[in-house]
Structure 1
C-alpha cells in the first residue's frame, strides 16, 4: 500500500546544526538552544509538552524547562488555554510582521499579486526559497480555499512545487541534484514526482517555457503555474 504524507509544515531544523560552529568564538550555544526550542513547533500538530519540546529540540529536559520558562515570561511562548502544553506566543507574530514589512520585494509584489488575483479569480502565492523547501510569504486566497492554503509561513518542498521548480530552473543541474538528494521524497499523492530524473523533466520544461506547470503534485485537484522573480523588475 502506498504511503502519502500530508501538507504540514516542513522543518529544516537540525538539532546537531550548532555542532558545526563549535570553533566559532562568537557563536552562543545558549542562543542556539533557544532557537531549537522555538523550532520545535514547526511540524507540531498540537500543543507540545515539555518532554516533547526537549525531544524535538535535541536538548535535555532540564535545559528545555529553563528555556521554556524564560520564553513564557517574555511572551514568546504561551500555555495552551486547556493546559495541554505549550504554543508559540503572540510576540512571534511581531517577528513575522517585521519580516514582511521590511522586505522590499514583498512590498512591491503585494499590489501586483492583488491585481493578478482579481484577474484570474484563483489563489496567488509568493514563496521564498529556503534550500529544500519554499516558504509562503504572501498569499492571496480565492473564495473557495481551505484554511491551510491561506497561512503565511507554511513551507512545502522545493522539488515538487510549481514555485520551487521555477526557482530550480534558474540553478545549475549540480545544485538541483544536491537539493533533491537531501529532500524527503515521500509523495503527497500518487502523482508526486519521486526521483531526480522526474524533477529534471519538470525543470527542463520550465527552462524552455519560462514558467513551471505542475499537476496533482501536492493535492490531487491542483494545477499550479510558477514563475521565478529574479530581480526588482520581476
Structure 2
C-alpha cells in the first residue's frame, strides 16, 4: 500500500504543478488586461452601454447614459445610438450619429442636425473607438492591476480585475474629472475569449464627491452601416 501511495504521488505531483502553473499564467492581471485591449481593438465593432450611478450634479453638464454601436478605426471611428445628458441645466435624450469629428443629433428636432459638441462640453462618442486612446486605453494603462473573485454576468462567468486609471485617460474619454485625479477601476473579462465585458470607474468626476460610470461591451465584431444623415 505504501509503495502504491508513493507511486501515485509521483505521478500526480507533476500534473498538479503543471495545472497550477497554467492557472497562474491565465490569471495574471497584466496579461489578461493586455489581451482584453488587443481583443477589443481587433473586433472592429462593439455595442456599448454606458451608465452613471448618480444623477448629474446641479450646475454641471455631463453624460448620464449612452447606448449604441461603435466602429473601431484609427482614422474614421463611428458611433450610432442614443445619448442622455444634462446640457445647460436641461436633461436631454437624443439620437446621435458621429463620424470622425462630425456629429449629428435630433436635439429638439425630428430630424438630424449637425451639432458642435465643444460648446456643450460634451465628448464626441467616436473617441471611445480609436485604438490606443479609446475604451481600450482603460485596460492598457491600469495602475497596480490585481485579480479578484469570479463574478457572474448574465449567463457568463467573468474573471474580475481591479486597478487604477489616471484622470487624464478619463478626461480624454468623458471630458470629466481632472488630469491629476486617480480613479478606481473594476473590469470583468471573459476568460476564454479575452473580451472586456464590463468596466466600472469610480472617482471625482465632479467636484461634489465620488461617483461611478459603468460600461458594458457586447456584440464584438457585429457591424452596422453608419452613414452621415
Identify the TM-score tier after normalising by the shorter chain. Answer: under 0.3
Larger radius of gyration: 2
TM-score (norm 1): 0.25
TM-score (norm 2): 0.25
